[in-house]
Amino acid sequence: MRTLADRIDERSAEIARRVSDQNGMPIFMSTAAEAHVPSQILRYYADLICTEATEELRGSSSGGNTLVRRVPVGVVAAVAPWNFPNIISALKYAPALAAGCTVVLKPSPETVLDAILLGEAAQQAGMPPGVFNILFGGREAGARLVSHPGVDKVSFTGSTATGRQIGAVCGELLRPVTLELGGKSAAIILDDADLDLQRIARQLATALFANNGQTCFLTSRVLAPHGRYDEVVDVIAALAESIKVGDSLDPATQVGPLVSRRQRDRVEGYIAKGLAEGARLVVGGGRPARRDAGWFVEPTVFADVDNSHTIAREEIFGPIVTITPYSDDDDAVRIANDSEYGLAATIWTESAERGTNMAKRVSVGTVGINDYIADFHSPTSMVKASGLGVKFGPESLLSYQRFQSVYL
C-alpha cells in the first residue's frame, strides 16, 4: 500500500490534469485534493493496520477463553462517482486492502482517464494479480457487479435514488453495504458570525461552491438570522459575483464547467423551479458571457427561499446557493433538521462553545465550524437519506472486517 502511494504520487500532476479535464474541477482543487490526498489515505490505513490488533483473547462466561478475530469481509465491490473520483475511490480501496480484502473498483464513466493511471500505479507497485481490479463500464456493469455472487460487500457513493436500488439488492442478498449518498446541507449563520469577506471568503466559498457545486457535503442551504438577513444576502451575493469562472485547467479559475450537458440542463431546471416557486434571484441564474464552449452555469444565489421550495429540498449539484431566514437558534436547528438528508452542516459563529452546542443539535454526520475541511482520521456516519454506514477513521477499517469467535 505504501508503494502504491509512492507510485500515485509520481503521477500526481497528470492525475490532477485528467480529473479537471473530465469533470470540470478547477485545477487548483484537483492538484490539492485529487492528486495528493489518495496517497495520504493509503499511508494512513497502511500504518493503522500495523497497529490494530486483529486477534484478542478474552475470558469467557464458561470459565475458559475465547479468541476473538477480525477477519477480512472478502471481495469488495467499490463503485465510485465522478465528482471526487480519486479521493472517494481511495476511501474505499485503502481500508479494504488494509483489512485484507480484494477489491473490484468501478469508476464512473465520466472519469476513466485518471483511473487508468491508478491501474498503472497498482501494477508498478507489485500488487498481486486479482487483489486490486478496475472494471470500466456504465450502469449495467455496476448493476452486475453489485449483484455478483462472488461479491461479499458493496461500497457505493452516488445519488440517493441509485443508492436505494443498491440497498434493495444487498438487502435481498443479505450482503453488507456502505452507502454514501446525497446531501442538502445547511449553513447556519449565527447572529454573532464574522461576515467580513476579507477574512472568510475562502472558507465560505469552499462551503458553498466547492468543485463547481458538484459536492455532496456542500452547505449551500444557508440559514440567516432575521436581524442580519439583508447583510448575509449582500455578503453571499458579493462572494458569488467575485468568483472567477473559467477553464478548469486555468490555475486562477474558482468555478469551472459542470461535468456534462445533462448536468447543466439539470441545474438550469432547478433555477427555473426556484423562480417559478417565488424565490428571489439575487445573482447569476444564467450562463456566463463569452463561455460558449463548456457546460457553464454562473454562481447563483437565491434569497427569500422557503424551506419547502424544491431548491431547498433537493440536491442540485451545481453552483446554486439558497438563503432562508430564521428567527432564533431553535428555529435554525428546526429548519436545518427539516430535510430528508443528513450528511453535513456548517455553523458560523464567533463562539466555539456556541457553535459546538449547536452542532450537537443538528442531525448530520459531520459539522464544520467556520469552515468545512473533511478529516479522514475521524469517522462520519451517513444519516437519513444520505446513506448507511461509516466512512473515515479506524471505524471505516472495521466496516471491511467481520468478527469470528473461537471458543477455547
Residues marked as catalytic: 180, 216
Whether the CB-CB separation of 263 and 295 falls below 8 Å is answered with: yes
Determine what percent of the chain falls in helix, strand and coil, rounding each to the nearest 5. 40, 20, 35
Cα–Cα dist 231/339, whole Å: 25
**Length, in residues, of the chain:** 408
Neighbouring C-alpha atoms within 13 Å toward the C-beta of 203: 19
Q: Are strands 186-189 and 344-348 parallel, antiparallel or unpaired?
A: parallel
For residue 81, which phi and psi values (nearest 5 degrees)? -95, 180
Q: Are strands 366-369 and 320-326 parallel, antiparallel or unpaired?
A: unpaired
Whether the CB-CB separation of 112 and 136 falls below 8 Å is answered with: yes
Of 40, 339, 368, 381, the C-alpha closest to 206 is 368
| Cell numbers given for 97 | 486492502
Whether the CB-CB separation of 380 and 366 falls below 8 Å is answered with: yes
Tell me how far CA of residue 224 lies from CA of 149, 329, 358, in angstroms. Answer: 50, 10, 14
| Cell numbers given for 159 | 445519488
Cell 481511495 belongs to 90
